[in-house]
Amino acid sequence: MEGEQKLRITMIGAGYVGLTTAAIFASFGNDVTLLDINKDKIEKLKQGEVPIFEEGLGELLEVARPNLTFISSWGSFNSKTELIIITVGTPMKENGDVDLTSVEKVAKSIGQKWSNGSQPIVIIKSTVPVGTTYRVKEWIEEELKKREINQEIYVASNPEFLREGLAVYDSLYPDRIVIGTDSSHVQDLLKRLYSPILNQTFPLSLKLPIQQPDHQPKPVWLVTEIKSAELIKYAANAFLAMKISFINEIARLAEKVGADITEVAEGIGLDQRIGTSYLKAGIGWGGGCFPKDTSAILNQGKEKGIEMSLVKATIDVNQKQKEWVISKLKEALGDLKNKEIGILGLSFKPNTDDIRGAISIEIIEKLLELGAAIKVYDPIAIDNFRKTYPKWKIKYIKKIEEIFEHSHAIILVTEWKQFKTLPYGELAKKMEDKIIIDGRNLLDIAPLIEAGFQYFGVGRNYS
Q: What are phi and psi of 435, to 5 degrees?
A: -115, 130
Which of 138, 139, 175, 176 is CA-nearest to residue 158? 176
- Pick the stretch among 113-121, 138-146, 272-280, 404-412 that binds ligand UDX (CB under 6 A): 272-280
Taking CB under 6 A as the rule, which mask of x and - marks residues 148-167 in contact with ligand UDX? ------------xxxxx---
Number of residues that bind ligand UDX (CB under 6 A): 20
Q: Does 285 bind ligand UDX (CB under 6 A)?
A: yes
394-396 and 373-377 beta bridge pairing: parallel
Q: How far is the CB of 145 from ligand UDX (least distance, A)?
A: 35
Of 289, 364, 373, 427, which one is the catalytic site residue? 289
Q: How far is the CB of 283 from ligand UDX (least distance, A)?
A: 8
18/287 with CB nearer ligand UDX: 287
Q: How far is the CB of 170 from ligand UDX (least distance, A)?
A: 7
Which residues have CB under 8 Å from 71's CB, separation 6+?
Answer: 33, 34, 35, 42, 77
Q: How far is the CB of 354 from ligand UDX (least distance, A)?
A: 8
CA atoms within 13 A on the CB side of 366: 15
179/373 with CB nearer ligand UDX: 179
Taking CB under 6 A as the rule, which mask of x and - marks residues 226-265 in contact with ligand UDX? -----------x--x---x---------------------
- Pick the stretch among 37-45, 93-101, 282-290, 399-407 that binds ligand UDX (CB under 6 A): 282-290
Q: Which of 234, 290, 453, 456 binds ligand UDX (CB under 6 A)?
A: 290
Q: Which of 42, 153, 279, 442 binds ligand UDX (CB under 6 A)?
A: 279
Residue 36: CB atoms within 10 Å: 24
CA-to-CA dists, residue 92 to 175, 201, 204, 244, 293, angstroms: 27, 37, 40, 21, 8
- Pick the stretch among 201-209, 254-262, 286-294, 302-310 that binds ligand UDX (CB under 6 A): 286-294
Q: How far is the CB of 164 from ligand UDX (least distance, A)?
A: 4
Q: How far is the CB of 389 from ligand UDX (least distance, A)?
A: 18
Q: Does 173 bind ligand UDX (CB under 6 A)?
A: no
Q: Which of 174, 180, 287, 345 binds ligand UDX (CB under 6 A)?
A: 287
Sheet with 373-377: list strands edge to edge: 394-396, 373-377, 340-344, 409-412, 435-438, 454-457
Q: How far apart are CA 34 and CA 78, in angstroms?
A: 11
Q: Does 280 bind ligand UDX (CB under 6 A)?
A: yes
Within 338-377, the residues that bind ligand UDX by CB under 6 A are 348-349
Which of 91, 104, 105, 87 is CA-nearest to residue 16? 87
110/355 with CB nearer ligand UDX: 355
**Between vectors from CA 229 to CA 100 and to CA 21, what angle results, nearest 5°?**
70
Q: How far is the CB of 293 from ligand UDX (least distance, A)?
A: 7
Q: Which of 289, 329, 376, 403 binds ligand UDX (CB under 6 A)?
A: 289
Q: Does 314 bind ligand UDX (CB under 6 A)?
A: no
Q: What are phi and psi of 313, to 5 degrees?
A: -65, -35
- Is 198 among the residues known to form the active site? no
Q: How far apart are CA 403 and CA 438, in angstroms?
A: 15
**Between vectors from CA 322 to CA 316 and to CA 325, what angle results, nearest 5°?**
140
Interface residue list for ligand UDX (CB under 6 A)? 160-164, 237, 240, 244, 278-280, 282, 285-290, 348-349
Active site positions, annotated? 289
